[in-house]
Amino acid sequence: MNEDIVAVSLFSGAGGLDIASIMAGVPVVSSTDIDSDCIQTLKANEMFKDSDIFEGDLHDIESSVFKACVEKRKANKFIIIGGAPCQPFSKAGYWVGNQTRRGINDPRATLVDEYLRVVTDILPDGFVFENVESLLHPTNKIIVEKFLEIVNDAGYTCKIVRANALDYGVSQKRKRLFILGTKSNFKSDEPKKTHCDPSLCEETGLKPYVNVGEVIQGFEGDKYFEEYEVTKGGTYYEDLCEVPPGKNYKALTAWAGYPNPKFVADKRFWSFLLKLSPDLPSWTITAQPGPWVGPFHWGNRRLRVPEIAAIQTFPKGYKFVGSRRSIQKQIGNAVPCLMGKAMIEFVKESLE
């Protein structure tokens, strides 16, 4: 089979970027991850039946393995996609003191080196690298500078894109950093945005941001009930019921003019008792939410698996394998598919 452009996926997770690549018309020839639940998730979905899927630590997988997958498909061109695990660079880490936050000294930072090793060994025609926006924070910035130096020396033109998922049709405020590279020249200034703030639609000609009520419609029935979603009887259940849709615990403070305040503003993490409004986009879906950390459904319950998957723009009916906790982590760590699609299309366009 002779294919025009294909993708090699590293740090594939549950397949967010892999699905994005398929949506962008770039078939994925190989995927890899260290997490066995993620690997089982990929294998459970029909769309990856023709992909070579490898379970293992990227440190232990030779670059030639990926090159062979591309050659087997007789592809004319190929790209590498992936986001090295980003916990050491996460903004959530700033809540921990600088003494305990390892940042750049975290051994997981070496996974960025592994991504670069595969890129410089097999020299794809382009690449998409994804990470958290705080990778540009002064503490971590040296990683970006070194990354750019290495890929520039290897002959790539790069663009750094600070993206918000909302702009690409994802019903979720989620900021991410992408480093996009091509051996050719980019044909436009940035990946194509499709959505914007409703007040700017007339001026820009783009569609309004997608509201979460529209995206998770149809999953409210008993058929999708999960034990995990139940909040009734919990420590803060009564308080959660008092929070209006679209607000957090601060609605129950003196700051908000609440009679008999239950909490003090700015003394809690902002996502404490955070509740979705059906008429607004969602906040970021996290990989490991605490017991009373949102976003919660406006019906005073936790979100269900098909709801968080829909907010991340996974295709309806996509299968996830593992415990409820593992599935939350897989979905929360994923790149929203529509956001990834815009980035891959931008790189693909430069190669055509």
CB 159 within 8 A of CB 307: no
Question: Considering Cα of 236, then 241, then 245, then 250, what sign does the dihedral take?
Answer: negative
Q: Coil, strand or helix: which one is 144?
A: helix
Concatenating the DSSP letter of every residue in 79-128 gives EEEE----GGG-GGGGGS-TTT--GGGSGGGHHHHHHHHHHHHH--SEEE
Can 86 be counted among the known catalytic residues? yes
Active-site position among 86, 158, 201, 241: 86
Query: In what order do the strands lie in the sheet containing 28-33?
Result: 52-55, 28-33, 5-10, 77-82, 126-132, 175-182, 157-164
Structure tokens at 236: 């803060």
Of 10, 127, 125, 6, the C-alpha closest to 61 is 10
Question: Considering Cα of 239, then 240, then 244, then 246, what sign does the dihedral take?
Answer: positive
Structure tokens at 72: 């087997």
Neighbours of 127 (CB within 10 A): 27
CB 304 within 8 A of CB 293: no
What amino acid positions are annotated as catalytic residues? 86
